[in-house]
Amino acid sequence: MIKSRYIPLVTAFAMSLYMVSIMTFVITWVNTGMDQAFLQRWWRAFYIAWPIAFTLILVGAPRITRAILRLKRDETPR
């Protein structure tokens, strides 16, 4: 099991892998087409984008969550 203190790190890791895999695949496919060198182009896009996405999620997710929570409507019954 994962210790609670590692949840943000593991979440950022999984979310960034998921997002960057799909995004770089689709964008590489749309921009360059599917041919013999596609996987090489996709892998290059992936390994450039993944550390950036991981860092942005790791740093940004807590701040974005706090900002969203400030917008939350009070749900006390009337």
For residue 56, the model assigns a pLDDT of 96
Q: What are phi and psi of 26, to 5 degrees?
A: -65, -45
Q: Tell me the angle at which helices 38-71 and 7-32 cross, rounded to the nearest 10 degrees.
A: 130
For residue 78, the model assigns a pLDDT of 67
Which residues in the chain show pLDDT less than 70? Answer: 78
Alpha-carbon gap, residue 41 to 70, rounded angstroms: 41
Residues 25-45: pLDDT tens digits? Answer: 999 999 999 999 999 999 999
- Residue at token pair 């998921």: 18
